[in-house]
């Protein structure tokens, strides 16, 4: 665990080559103003941006159900128990299976916390949605102790935005549920989203998509 303390003071590093796209991707606010992705992922504005629900549902079906969301608001929480910024999730003890979409302004500290909570036996596993910053020190440290590392082949949309983020994302899992998990992405035959099936001949990413596929097949028959 010697590599983890170095992550605590590491700021988020964004690829500045993506700056034009970051500036162009903006989200409307309640007062009519707009916030760019650059402001979102480099400032406190990112602390309350919600996770893509389809991705949370995928991860919950595979790794959940989730017991705790330590970096949430009441409106965005993805588990029965959650901590808001006022509860200080970094200072709390985590338990069970955890979904974490951390504030990107402090991603290194949150990843260190996630790994530590699993290592000491508090949390069973922690599923993290983070920028796929393969060149960042916190990322390199995380993948050395993670049980699952997936760089998503499609860029996701945060906070209900119509545009995808101008940076790739990764799902990193600390801890184990005792099951095998897929490592190669595949596009669902129905919803066309990517997922990571255990079997190479799988066609759909969820039960709902499976039902839809069967209905289409039956109608054609």
Question: Is 48 within 8 Å of 42 (Cβ atoms)?
Answer: no
Mean pLDDT of 132-151: 96
Joined tokens for residue 37: 């992705």
- Catalogue all structural domains in the chain, each as residue range(s) with its CATH number: 5-181 (3.40.50), 185-221 (no CATH)
* Cβ burial 83-119 (10 Å sphere, 16+ → b, else e): bbeeeebbeeebebbbbbbbbbbbbbbbbbbbbbbbe
Which of 24, 51, 34 has its CA nearest to residue 166? 24
CA distances from 51 to 31, 48, 140, 214 (A): 22, 9, 23, 29
Q: Express each pLDDT in 22-57 by its tens digit.
A: 333 444 444 555 555 455 544 444 456 689 999 999
Mean pLDDT of 138-151: 97
Question: Is 78 within 8 Å of 57 (Cβ atoms)?
Answer: no
Q: Express each pLDDT in 163-200 by its tens digit.
A: 777 789 999 999 999 999 988 888 888 888 888 888 88
């Amino acid at each position: 665990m010697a590599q983890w303390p170095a992550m605590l003071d590491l700021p988020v590093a964004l690829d500045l080559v993506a700056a034009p796209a970051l500036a162009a991707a903006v989200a409307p606010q309640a007062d009519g103003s707009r916030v760019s992705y650059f402001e979102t992922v480099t400032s406190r504005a990112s602390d309350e941006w919600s996770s893509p629900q389809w991705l949370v549902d995928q991860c919950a079906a595979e790794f959940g159900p989730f017991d705790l969301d330590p970096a949430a608001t009441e409106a965005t929480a993805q588990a029965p128990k959650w901590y808001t910024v006022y509860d200080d999730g970094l200072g709390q003890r985590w338990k069970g299976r955890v979904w974490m979409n951390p504030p990107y302004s402090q991603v290194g500290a949150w990843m260190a916390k996630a790994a530590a909570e699993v290592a000491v036996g508090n949390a069973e596993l922690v599923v993290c949605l983070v920028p796929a910053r393969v060149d960042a020190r916190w990322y390199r440290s995380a993948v050395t102790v993670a049980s699952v590392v997936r760089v998503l082949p499609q860029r996701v949309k945060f906070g209900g935005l119509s545009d995808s983020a101008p940076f790739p994302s990764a799902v990193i899992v600390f801890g184990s549920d005792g099951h095998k998990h897929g490592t190669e992405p595949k596009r669902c035959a129905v919803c066309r989203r990517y997922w990571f099936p255990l079997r190479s001949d799988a066609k759909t990413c969820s039960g709902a998509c499976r039902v839809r596929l069967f209905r289409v097949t039956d109608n054609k028959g």
